[in-house]
Amino acid sequence: MRATEGLHICGSCRRPFVVHDAIQRAPAGIEQVVVDLRCVDCGWLHTGTYAMSAVEALDLAMDLDEREIRAALEVIEFADQVERIDRFARALELGLITPGDFV
Ligand SMILES: [Zn+2]
């Protein structure tokens, strides 16, 4: 199966989870690079020759995805902290936590 036009899109599952592994120079006289692509979702593997600009676009897509994942993680961590505080406050209201619990 071929890689899609946008290298970040998997040639098998069509999801945007492709990363590159090895990048090597193509043989002399060829203006492209040889890239090993791997989908981290379905395990699809592909090796092909691409313009360096396509690989740079993949790097940019990977950077943007990483930022989105980190932002989503921050939201999840914040929501988890809020939930913990709410549960603690509720336990205090119900008298389930007393000063003796901290001795
Ligand atoms: Zn895939």
Domain spans, the chain: 18-94
Amino acid letter, 100: G
> Is the dihedral angle over the CA atoms 34, 46, 6, 43 positive or is it negative?
negative
Q: What distance in angstroms lies between residue 59's CA and the mean position of ligand 1's atoms? A: 17
Q: What distance in angstroms lies between residue 8's CA and the mean position of ligand 1's atoms? A: 10
Res. 93 pLDDT band, cuts 50 70 90: very high
Q: What distance in angstroms lies between residue 9's CA and the mean position of ligand 1's atoms? A: 8
SS3 content of the chain, % helix, strand, coil (to 5): 45, 20, 35
55-85 per-position pLDDT tens digit: 999 999 899 989 999 999 999 999 999 999 9
28-64 per-position pLDDT tens digit: 888 899 999 999 999 999 999 999 999 999 999 899 9
